[in-house]
Chains A and B, each alone.
Chain A
Amino acid sequence: QVTLKESGPTLVKPTQTLTLTCSFSGFSLTTIGVGVGWIRQPPGKALEWLALIYWDDDKRYSSSLESRLTITRDTSKNQVVLTMTNMDPVDTGTYYCARRLQESGRYYNFDYWGQGILVTVSS
């Protein structure tokens, strides 16, 4: 059974750094074809992809946010960590992590999602 769960602070101050952790089970981030990504959603707005880390530790970032983002993994703990620097009120929203799977020639982008964590940026 595949599960993902986001954790971290729900309130951060402007200019602070946000650190979110995605803890997952039911799959391994060392299996070829597997990745874990982060997606966010401001209240009442659309989804926005942020970052993705692959089984081989390759990483991809949103062009518009790349300078502020870092994605890392701890395969021993089955966790993926996203850090976002210089937080601003416009970064307020729900942050999701989700699995990406390549299997038998098929690419399942974000087939399983966490429940999301609402992060508010306010002084």
Chain B
Amino acid sequence: DIVMTQTPLSLSVTPGQPATIFCKSSQSLLYSDGKTYLHWYLQKPGQSPQLLIYEVSNRFSGVPDRFSGSGSGTDFTLKISRVEAEDVGVYYCMQSSQLRTFGQGTKVEIK
């Protein structure tokens, strides 16, 4: 099974400052069709998770452009260019190249 490892596990950010979350997979997520199936979700306090980024770098409908995803193979990054108060919550990466596996989550809070 593919193991997803996120770092850091928690992040305290001043509003307006950037934030970066890393996600590493135990094996390459490059699928036989040439695509890489790595996605990012945000679970705000008391809410269901919501899709932010699909296929490494594509923002889902309605997601602000301060969120961006990048990476390839086994190493992936989610960046928030300027953190806002509404961005607090737990961020998860998930792979779907082989079944599905979530990372352990990164909790983002505001300083």
- A: residues with CB less than 8 A from B are 37, 39, 46-49, 52, 60-64, 96, 98, 106-111, 113-116
A47-B92, A49-B102 known; A64 vs B48 contact (CB < 8 Å):
no
Q: How far is the CA of A62 from the CA of B39 in the complex (A)?
A: 18
Which B residues are in CB contact (< 8 Å) with A113? 48-50
- CB of B51 within 8 A of CB of A110, answer yes
- CB of A63 within 8 A of CB of B1, answer yes
Q: B54: which of A62, A106, A115 is its contact (CB, 8 Å)? A: A106
Q: How far is the CA of A47 from the CA of B102 in the complex (A)?
A: 6
- CB of B94 within 8 A of CB of A46, answer no
| B22 beta carbon closer than 8 Å to chain A | no
Q: How far is the CA of A115 from the CA of B47 in the complex (A)?
A: 7
Which A residues are in CB contact (< 8 Å) with B96? 107, 109
Which B residues are in CB contact (< 8 Å) with A64? 1
- CB of B48 within 8 A of CB of A109, answer no
Q: Contact size class for B?
A: 20 to 34
Q: How far is the CA of A113 from the CA of B49 in the complex (A)?
A: 7
- CB of A107 within 8 A of CB of B35, answer yes
User: In the complex, which residue of chain B has the Cβ closest to the Cβ of A52?
Assistant: B100
Q: A107: which of B50, B55, B105 is its contact (CB, 8 Å)? A: B55
Q: B101: which of A49, A106, A115 is its contact (CB, 8 Å)? A: A49
Shortest C-beta distance, B24 to chain A (Å), equals 15
| B72 beta carbon closer than 8 Å to chain A | no
- CB of A46 within 8 A of CB of B103, answer yes
A37-B100, A47-B102, A109-B96 known; A115 vs B48 contact (CB < 8 Å):
yes
Q: How far is the CA of A63 from the CA of B100 in the complex (A)?
A: 10
**Would you list 29 pairs from A and B whose C-beta atoms are within 8 A, ordered by A residue?**
A37-B100, A46-B92, A46-B102, A46-B104, A47-B41, A47-B43, A47-B102, A49-B100, A49-B101, A49-B102, A60-B99, A62-B99, A62-B100, A63-B1, A63-B99, A106-B54, A107-B54, A107-B96, A108-B54, A109-B37, A109-B51, A109-B54, A109-B100, A110-B41, A110-B49, A110-B94, A111-B51, A114-B48, A116-B48
